[in-house]
Homo-oligomer: A and B are copies of this chain.
C-alpha cells in the first residue's frame, strides 16, 4: 500500500501477525487485536517505558492486557519491540511447549506482567501494582531521587467491565486516588454472544466518574486522539484514568468487522486474504514483517536501554547519597527476608486457656513486621476480627501512601487480585484478611496466584463451626478441601499460638503460590512443647504432637487446627479404654506430602491402620491419610447458629466421639 504511512504499516503488522497466528492455530481471538492495534501501538510507541532486553527492570511501566483472550496483540508487540519471543513462537501460537499460550501467562513469557484471561483479573491486578508503586514511591523517593516512578497501563474490555471484580477494583482505585493507572477501554460493543446491546447497556462513562475516575471517550482508531488522551490522563495526578476507545472489532475484515464472528474464532483463510487486501497489505506471505516496520519497532531497544541505564545511574547516586535507605530499598525489591527470621517469631508459653490462633497471628505479625518492612496488607472490612492490623504503621491511603494498613473495603475479590498485583510488582510482601468462608469470593484471584506462582498471603480467620453464632452462612465446611485440591496453594491450619508463629514463617518463605493461613475465632490451649514436639515441626506439615507410650501405637489420631485439642483430650480418655494413641498435628497437607518417605513413615507408620482423623470440616480427601480402615470424623452437612461449644457437641466433633470410633476400630 504505497500511500500507507510507516505508522499505519506498523499497526497493520500487529493486525496481520495476530490474524495469521490465530489462523495457523485454528483457534483464538483475532478481532480484539485488530480493533485495538491502533491504540496499543500509540501506547507502546509513544509512552510505554520498558526495556525489552530486561523485562524485569524494576522501574518499568507495567502493561496489562486484561482482555487476555486478545493475547496475540501482546505477543505481536513483544516480538516486534524485541523481547525474547521469536517469530517462530508466534507461529507456534497455542501449541504445546510454545511461549505463546492461548492466554498470557506470567512467568511463562517474557514481558507478560500478569496472567489474564479470566475476565476482570487483569483490571484488578493492575490496581494492586499501582498500590505498590504508590507505596514504594512514598516510602523511598525523595525530592532528588525518584527510584519508583512508573505508570500502570492496561487494555480492558467489555467483559472485564461486566465482571463484578472490575467494580470492586475501580471503586477501590478511585477511593485511593491512584492517578498512575491509565486503562484503555476497548469499547467495541461486541461480546461473544453478539452485540453488547444484548446484555450490557450501562453508561460506563458516568459509572467510572462515580468511582472518582478521570474518564474520556475517543475514537480508538484516531491515533492522535489516543495520544492526547493518554497525555491528558498523565496530567491527572489524583484520579485513575479510563480512556474509552470506541473501536471496531475485527478492524479491516470486510465481512467480519463489527461482528461477533471475529471475536473468538479464526477469520478463515479466505477472509484473512480479503482482510489483507482491504488493509492494502503488502504481502501474501504469512507472518510478514516489513523490514522498515521491524526497524521502527526495535527502536524500543535503545529507548529501553537508555531509560534503564539512567535509572541504574540514579540508583548508584542514591546509594552514595543514602546508603542505608538504598540498601533497604534493594532488600525490599528483592523480597529478602531477614536471615534470623526465627529470632523474630513470638514464642508463647504453654497455657490451658491459650488464645485464638487469629489472636496469635495478630501478635506474630506485629512482632515480625518491624523486621520485614516490606509487609503490607489489611482486611476486607474485618480488620479487628482478622487481627491484620500492624501497630504504628499507618493507614495506606491517598494522604499517606507510605502507610501499610490497607482498608480494602468489603471487596474480597479485588483484594485478592490486588495482593497478586502488589506481589507481582515486587518491593512489598502483601497479605489480606477475611473470614475463611469468603475465600469463595476471592477464589478466582487465589487461583491466578496458584497458577502463576505468586506469593500472596491470606489471613483466613473464623475457620469453622467454631465461629459459633454467625451460623452456617459463615461457617466453612468444604473450604479446606476445596483449597487443598488447588495445585500450588499452601494451606496452613495451625493448632495453637506457637504453630501459628511457624505457619507465618512458612507463609513468608513460600513463593510457589499463595499461602493461606486458616485461623480460629475461638480460643485454643497453647500446647506444652519440648524437643520432641517443637513448634518448628510445623514446617514439616505434620508431626507427632503427643506420642503413644508403646513404640507402635494402637491408634493414630490425626487432626488440624482447633481439633488437635480434641484429639489430645481423646488420647487421654483412650488410655482408660486401654487404647494407646498417638496424636499427629497436621497443619499442612502440602508440606507433609513434600517430606521424604522415611519421615512420613515415622509419623504415620504403615503398620498402624487404626487411624482417625478429626477436622471440623468436610472429611473429603482424608482417606489419603487414614486409609481404607480409617475413620474420618468431620461434617457432611452445613453448620448451625449457636454458641460454638454446643455446635461441636451436637455435631459430634468431640473427644467422646473419637473414643467411640476408636473403640469400634479395636473391637
Query: A residues near B, CB below 8 A?
Result: 25, 27-28, 68, 94-98, 101-103, 105, 115-119, 158-159, 162-168, 171-172, 174-175, 191-193, 198-207, 209-212, 379, 381-385, 395, 397, 407-414, 437-438, 440-441, 443-444, 447, 450-451, 468-474, 477-478, 481-488, 618, 620-621, 623-624, 627-628, 635-638, 640-643, 646-647, 650
A646, B94: Cα distance in complex, Å:
12
A101 touches B472 (CB 8 A): yes
Nearest-Cβ distance from residue A604 to partner chain B, whole angstroms: 12
A469, B29: Cα distance in complex, Å:
11
When A381-B193, A482-B482 are in contact, do A162 and B158 touch as well, CB less than 8 Å?
no
A175 touches B202 (CB 8 A): yes
Closest to A118 in B: B473
By CB atoms of chain B within 10 A, which of A164, A212, A470 has the most? A164
A193 touches B407 (CB 8 A): yes
B469 touches A199 (CB 8 A): no
A192 touches B381 (CB 8 A): yes
B469 touches A28 (CB 8 A): yes
Chain A to chain B contacts (Cβ below 8 Å), 23 pairs: A94-B641, A96-B642, A96-B650, A98-B641, A101-B471, A101-B641, A102-B470, A102-B471, A117-B471, A118-B437, A159-B410, A163-B164, A163-B168, A166-B167, A172-B199, A191-B409, A193-B381, A193-B407, A199-B407, A202-B210, A481-B481, A484-B620, A621-B621
Nearest-Cβ distance from residue A418 to partner chain B, whole angstroms: 12
Q: Which one of B119, B210, B410, B484 contacts A410 once the chains associate, using CB atoms below 8 Å?
A: B119
A168 touches B164 (CB 8 A): yes
A162, B174: Cα distance in complex, Å:
13
Q: Which one of B28, B96, B198 contacts A640 once the chains associate, using CB atoms below 8 Å?
A: B96
Shortest 7 CB-CB contacts between residues of A and residues of B:
A164-B164, A167-B167, A101-B641, A482-B482, A199-B409, A117-B473, A96-B642
Nearest-Cβ distance from residue A251 to partner chain B, whole angstroms: 21
Q: Which one of B198, B437, B469 contacts A407 once the chains associate, using CB atoms below 8 Å?
A: B198
B621 touches A410 (CB 8 A): no
Which residues in B have their C-beta under 8 angstroms from that of A409?
162, 191, 198-200
B620 touches A481 (CB 8 A): yes
A412, B642: Cα distance in complex, Å:
33
Q: Which one of B175, B199, B485, B642 contacts A200 once the chains associate, using CB atoms below 8 Å?
A: B175
Which residues in B have their C-beta under 8 angstroms from that of A95?
641-643
When A117-B474, A440-B447, A469-B27 are in contact, do A382 and B192 touch as well, CB less than 8 Å?
yes
When A487-B478, A621-B485 are in contact, do A202 and B384 touch as well, CB less than 8 Å?
no
B646 touches A96 (CB 8 A): yes
By CB atoms of chain B within 10 A, which of A95, A166, A198, A209 has the most? A198
Q: Which one of B199, B470, B471 contacts A408 once the chains associate, using CB atoms below 8 Å?
A: B199
Nearest-Cβ distance from residue A369 to partner chain B, whole angstroms: 19
A617, B391: Cα distance in complex, Å:
44
A329, B191: Cα distance in complex, Å:
35
Nearest-Cβ distance from residue A187 to partner chain B, whole angstroms: 14
Which residues in B have their C-beta under 8 angstroms from that of A117?
470-471, 473-474
B103 touches A474 (CB 8 A): yes
Closest to A484 in B: B620
Which residues in B have their C-beta under 8 angstroms from that of A488?
638
Q: Which one of B119, B159, B164 contacts A167 once the chains associate, using CB atoms below 8 Å?
A: B164
Nearest-Cβ distance from residue A228 to partner chain B, whole angstroms: 25
A102 touches B638 (CB 8 A): no
A485, B212: Cα distance in complex, Å:
41
Which residues in B have their C-beta under 8 angstroms from that of A68?
473
A300, B106: Cα distance in complex, Å:
60
When A206-B209, A471-B103, A481-B621 are in contact, do A487 and B642 touch as well, CB less than 8 Å?
no
Nearest-Cβ distance from residue A88 to partner chain B, whole angstroms: 16
By CB atoms of chain B within 10 A, which of A158, A383, A469 has the most? A469
A198, B115: Cα distance in complex, Å:
30
Nearest-Cβ distance from residue A142 to partner chain B, whole angstroms: 28
